[in-house]
Structure 1
Amino acid sequence: MLSIYQSAFAGAQAQRTAFDIIANNIANVQTHGYRAVRTEFADLLYRQLAPEDIGLPPTDTRTLPFVGTGVQAVGGSIATRPGSFVSTGREFDPAIQGEGYFQVALADAQPGYTRAGNFVLASDRSLVTPDGHRAQPAITLAVTATQIRVREDGTVTSVDQAGAPATTRVTCAAWRRARAGRGGSASPPPARRCAGSTR
């Protein structure tokens, strides 16, 4: 017998998943570069009513309608709407205007991607995330580098001790991505370079 409770339970399970995702979005409201996740739902397969489902004898030959069996949460899509820019006054806090992600090297040497532009200098003067993932391609500044600036096109400029200018570039990639946690994502290689903006 088709149970109304089965459909109701499926709906409750789907809503629980949605609430878990909403709670995670709220928990990360102050997280650098976090992109909210939106729950996506799909209805479950339809099935044709059997005569006994509605109190008819099993031998009844009438054509009965199809009914849904509930709903399920099938996944979450990452919101692409840009957030607001906040000026931090730090020289290594670039932000991406529009689509794109910063590429970094994960612990297993695989490429990772993040919207969080709160980079710091490692002991070897390379640009890394707070978790120690190096920006890719690698950016290393001289020990004597001064007047460090990140321009809107992602160019990093500095001046060495002798007064000679040096430039490199922060690049970002645009692609369909999968969550990897810790403010990052994992995905295939970058599709294109994007412009950056000082955060």
Structure 2
Amino acid sequence: MMRGLYTAATGMNAQQTNIDMISNNLSNVNTTGFKKSRANFQDLMYQQTRQPGTPNAQGEEIPVGTEIGHGTRMAATQKLFTPGSPQSTDNPLDLVIEGDGFFEVVRPDGSTAYTRDGSFRQDSDGRLVTADGHPLQPEIYIPEDATSVSITSDGTVSAQMAGESEPNQLGQIELVNFSNPAGLNSEGRNLYTETVSSGQPMIGVPGEDGFGTISQGYLEMSNVKVVEEMVDMITAQRAYEANSRSIQASDEMLNTANQLRR
């Protein structure tokens, strides 16, 4: 059986995975804080029929060898944490991180997760929570009689209370960062969790020690660029077609061999 049939099949499988990644990116083009993924591929093992440097019959050294590859495979899927464009919402509880960092939230089972989605709101107790009800850490409570809420670039939360001339400070928003954000585990629902590859979480104040600042009344849109994804999709489709043509050519060669007669 011709080796090229299986080699081209690995190429078709790789491009199918590539299309899967592109489709997910495009489907989340309007997801707040979404970070696009990229499929990384690597070539498979090679069959070497002659090693470089092997002496020929005359004892001379052969400068190059003979090796035949066996296709490609997906090596990893990588999250790209380039910033998305901020969008004005005029909602005082919408926050965007301008720079590096994540918001820390607590899930119902008590585990910690991290997000770039700053679309917060109040629960029945006045806590700042995500759309799924996960409270922001450290917890911030907004009193019922607060007439306005102000959040500065360093994460200081203040509220103007009815009948008072000076605003009251309610708390401090902290950010979390990792030495390797691409190593975080994507949990869905705009949440990430820590892994061994991501490193330990580093907690800090917005605007200090390399952490980004916070802007109130904005949300970070996804970093997906539709035009780039469409170009990547066309490239993947053409590569898929080229690999299918290789299979067709191999099949035609086998058919020709089968038609040989003595």
| Range with bigger deviation, 153-162 or 135-144 | 153-162
Does residue 192 of structure 1 match 2:203? yes
- Structure 1 residue 12: deviation in Å? 1.1
- Report the TM-score when normalising by structure 2: 0.66
Q: Is the 8 A contact 1:127 1:139 kept in 2?
A: yes
User: Could you tell me which residue of structure 1 aligns to residue 37 of structure 2?
Assistant: 37
Q: What does the per-residue CA deviation read over 1:119-160, in whole Å, with 9 as the maximum and x for residues that have no partner?
A: 110111111111111111111112222220121122211133
User: Could you tell me which residue of structure 1 aligns to residue 176 of structure 2?
Assistant: 173
| Range with bigger deviation, 182-191 or 78-87 | 182-191
User: Could you tell me which residue of structure 2 aligns to residue 3 of structure 1?
Assistant: 3
The structure 1 segments of at least 4 consecutive aligned residues displaced by more than 6 Å after TM superposition are none
- Which protein is richer in helix relative to its size? 2
Give the Cα separation in 2 of the matches to 1:45 and 1:106. Answer: 44
Q: Is the 8 A contact 2:38 2:78 kept in 1?
A: yes
The within-5 A match list for 1:108-127 is 108-127=109-128
Larger RCO: 1 or 2 (CA < 8 Å, sep 6+): 2
Give the Cα separation in 2 of the matches to 1:35 and 1:114. Answer: 11
| Local SS of the residue matching 1:123 | coil
Give the Cα separation in 2 of the matches to 1:68 and 1:107. Answer: 50
The within-5 A match list for 1:37-186 is 37-49=37-49, 65-161=66-162, 163=164, 165-175=168-178, 176=181, 177-186=184-193
Structure of higher CA gyration radius = 2
- Structure 1 residue 49: deviation in Å? 4.0
Q: Is the 8 A contact 2:103 2:116 kept in 1?
A: yes
* Equivalent position amino acid for 2:176 in 1: A
* Equivalent position amino acid for 1:17 in 2: T
Q: Is the 8 A contact 2:107 2:134 kept in 1?
A: yes
Give the Cα separation in 1 of the matches to 2:174 and 2:36. Answer: 23
* Equivalent position amino acid for 1:117 in 2: G
Cα distance change on mapping 1:2 and 1:155 into 2, 3 Å = farther
| Range with bigger deviation, 139-148 or 189-198 | 189-198
> How many aligned positions are there?
187
User: Could you tell me which residue of structure 2 aligns to residue 24 of structure 1?
Assistant: 24
| Local SS of the residue matching 1:192 | strand
Give the Cα separation in 2 of the matches to 1:197 and 1:19. Answer: 35
Cα distance change on mapping 1:192 and 1:47 into 2, 3 Å = farther
Q: Is the 8 A contact 1:153 1:197 kept in 2?
A: no
Unmatched segments (≥5 aa) in structure 2: 51-63, 205-210, 219-262
State the superposition RMSD in angstroms.
Answer: 2.0
Give the Cα separation in 2 of the matches to 1:3 and 1:64. Answer: 19
